[in-house]
Amino acid sequence: AVNSKFYAPEVYYGGGKVFNSVNNLDALYDNLNGSTVGESKQEYKDYTFDAFVKYERVFNENHDLKALFGMSVFRSQGVNLRNELGFGANGTNFSQYSVIGADTSQDNLALSGNARRFFDSRLLSYFSRVQYSYDGKYLLSAVIRRDGSSNFGPENKFGYFPTGSVGWIASDEAFLEDNSTINFLKFRASYGIIGNDRIASFRYLSLVNGEGTYVFNNQLTYGQALGSTANPEIRWEKQKPFDVGFDLGLFDKVDITVDYFNKKTEDLLVQPEVSGILGSTAPGGGGPLVNAGTVENEGLEFSINYKETIGEDFKFNINYNFTTLKNEVLYVGSDTGILQGGGFGVGQEPPSRMEAGFPIGYFYGLQTDGLFQNQSEVDSHATQANANPGDIRFIDQNEDGLINGDDRVNIGDPIPSVTMGFNFSFDYKNFDFNMYAFASIGNEIVRNYERNQPLTNRSVYFLDRWTGEGTSTSFPRVTTGPNSNSLFSDFFVEDGSFVRLQNIQFGYTFGENTLKGSGIDKLRFYFSASNLVTLTKYRGFDPTTSNGAPIGGGIDQGFYPSPKTFLIGLNVNF
């Protein structure tokens, strides 16, 4: 259990990547309200019970059989409570509101927010596994599970999830047994069904956990309201992975792994955007959780590792791996065949879509064609609301002479087509070194932190904005007048590919002679750095930004970037 009390001065970090000293325009001129004090409490409990029986037997020396039967019970429950009190304050430098000049009279106090969240998730599982091998070379494994989850309604709690795999260690065959080149070779394949119930508790029920505000006697009063919309029909998400590949060892120095995979996810659990008429936009509210459809991920995984020893003192290891990925939606379970998600700006259609034939969460918006440089270009173009020289020029996709929502197309994919990793390490006498780099290639990111908002700064590249004919073809004019520049388009979509030096570590271990008589068995000094260098064309703070949603990922809301971290330390064993 965790209890905490806090004081928050009237400063916040806005979506426009800037610290603002006020929350709204009114407070800009009347810098009074905005500070809060509050208290929060979190309490979590997990319970686990496992029981299983094993059976093992070898028949006729070559037949090895292993079996396991069991059950498992898991329960996780907790509560999260939070209350905040807003007031006017003259000072913001102290953590105790009793000494910061706060006006705590009843007329100036207001409950500025409250939240409560509780969960109680239970999982009951029965499982069995059988493993068989013949002569240690031919391998067979089968697993079946029956899982029941409290996160689903009475009719959909239980699901059956079988998996199976086969393998052949070819290097143990007589024709490869004494091969000096191939020291290990194994072929393998697997297929199965995996269930996913990782959703919030009670989404199949209507709960009074939303926030309602009411006015009594000219006073704003906080109460409760219905929370997220219920869906009693939600059921297990089923992932069906197929994998085939091989492991190869060469010269006792090189290890190669190659895999082809195809994973279909059926009854995908997502929360799409729905009409605000359902109350989904109220505080604590939200759209229903649905089984959205079927998505396929297909690709190739490759890994190669090389290790070498030179002399008695120098050893090194190099590893490189990459994964290709093609994502495609096969089916969408809605009347329109489309589900929307994510958010961009204010009052605009969701920027991300789930639609058959496209990657999940692809960006759907207007396509641009530079900037209007003069009035004649504006006059000769399709009708575009409030267009002026210096504004973004949108493409009239359907050639109806009007720029509107019907001209939106696929303008980006948040899913990388290739990811890569590289690791290098060596040991030389008492010195050791390790480094790891990671790359993501082929995905796009939406600069949503740049959406039009008051009291937010712009990035430095707006210094190259349009100020007259021929001055810029990339960044539109700056104006407070009506225009269409803030409409979601490929102007806000960038290549999110990057290469990052994720971690390096250098260490020195003191020898036994140095430590003799000190009572210390081992002493190692090390220096490490993480997130050291990132190479990318993305102009935001961090190309790894994402909210993790299946529909709505890859949208940079101005998340706090990953920091560089430097550590110096000692490992001491006595």
% of the chain with per-residue pLDDT over 70: 83
User: Which residue shows structure tokens 């109220």?
Assistant: 282
Task: Find out whether 70 and 51 touch, Cβ atoms under 8 Å.
Answer: yes
Q: Per the domain annotation, does 168 fall within a domain?
A: yes
User: Which residue shows structure tokens 């050893």?
Assistant: 315
User: Which residue shows structure tokens 């895999």?
Assistant: 259
Mean pLDDT along residues 487-514: 94
Helix, strand and coil in the chain, % to nearest 5? 5, 55, 40
Phi-psi region of 531 (alpha: psi -120 to 50; beta: other; left: phi over 0): left
Asked which of 19-28, 111-120, 184-193, 512-521 is least confident by mean pLDDT, the reply is 19-28
Q: Per the domain annotation, does 568 fall within a domain?
A: no
Position 29 confidence tier, pLDDT thresholds 50, 70, 90: very low
Q: What is the pLDDT of residue 462?
A: 81
**Tens digits of per-residue pLDDT, 308-336?**
999 989 999 999 999 999 999 999 988 89
- Cα 272 from Cα 270, distance rounded (Å): 6
Can you say how many angstroms the Cα of residue 505 is from the centroid of all Cα atoms in its chain?
A: 27
Position 2 confidence tier, pLDDT thresholds 50, 70, 90: low
Q: What is the pLDDT of residue 84?
A: 60
Asked which of 201-210, 279-288, 291-300, 415-424 is least confident by mean pLDDT, the reply is 279-288
- Cα 309 from Cα 316, distance rounded (Å): 7
Q: Per the domain annotation, does 159 fall within a domain?
A: yes
Distances from the Cα of 431 to the Cαs of 309, 316, 319, 425, 445, in angstroms? 15, 12, 20, 11, 41
Q: What is the pLDDT of residue 224?
A: 72
More confident residue, 35 or 564: 564
Q: What is the pLDDT of residue 460?
A: 81
- 3-class DSSP state of 6: strand
Distances from the Cα of 438 to the Cαs of 319, 357, 532, 535, in angstroms? 12, 29, 12, 11
Task: Find out whether 46 and 72 touch, Cβ atoms under 8 Å.
Answer: no
Q: How many folded domains does the chain comprise?
A: 1
**223 lies in which domain range?**
137-291
Q: Per the domain annotation, does 192 fall within a domain?
A: yes
Distances from the Cα of 535 to the Cαs of 235, 272, 325, 327, 437, in angstroms? 42, 34, 22, 25, 11
φ/ψ (deg, to 5) at 511? -70, 165
Task: Provide the 8-state DSSP code for 205.
Answer: S
Can you point out the beta strands (E) in 34-92?
Answer: 35-59, 63-87
Q: What is the pLDDT of residue 27?
A: 40
Task: Find out whether 55 and 67 touch, Cβ atoms under 8 Å.
Answer: yes
Count of other CB atoms within 10 angstroms of residue 234: 21
Annotate 246-269 with b (16+ C-beta within 10 A) or e (fewer): bbbbbeeeebbbebebebbbbbbb
Highest mean pLDDT pick, 167-181, 223-237, 473-487: 167-181
- Least Cα distance to 468 among 457, 480, 476, 456 occurs for 476
Q: Per the domain annotation, does 101 fall within a domain?
A: no
Point out which residues pair with 123 in neighbouring strands.
74, 149
Question: pLDDT averaged over the chain?
Answer: 86
Point out which residues pair with 297 in neighbouring strands.
263, 327
- Cα 532 from Cα 562, distance rounded (Å): 10
Q: Per the domain annotation, does 414 fall within a domain?
A: no
Would you list the DSSP string of 233-287?
A: T---EEEEEEEEEEEEEETTTEEEEEEEEEEEEES-EE-----GGGTTTSTT-BP
- Beta strands 565-573 and 493-495 are unpaired
**Tens digits of per-residue pLDDT, 233-285?**
999 999 999 999 999 999 999 999 999 999 999 999 998 877 766 666 666 67
Angle made by CA atoms 417, 364, 488, in degrees to the nearest 5: 115
Task: Provide the 8-state DSSP code for 21.
Answer: S
- Cα 140 from Cα 527, distance rounded (Å): 46
**Tens digits of per-residue pLDDT, 372-384?**
999 999 999 999 9
Q: Per the domain annotation, does 164 fall within a domain?
A: yes
Q: Per the domain annotation, does 550 fall within a domain?
A: no
More confident residue, 471 or 347: 471
What amino acid occupies position 262?
Answer: N
**Tens digits of per-residue pLDDT, 57-115?**
999 989 999 999 999 999 998 887 766 655 544 444 444 434 334 444 444 444 445 55
**Token pair listed for 69:** 């039967």
Q: What is the pTM for the complete model shown?
A: 0.84
Q: What is the pLDDT of residue 96?
A: 42
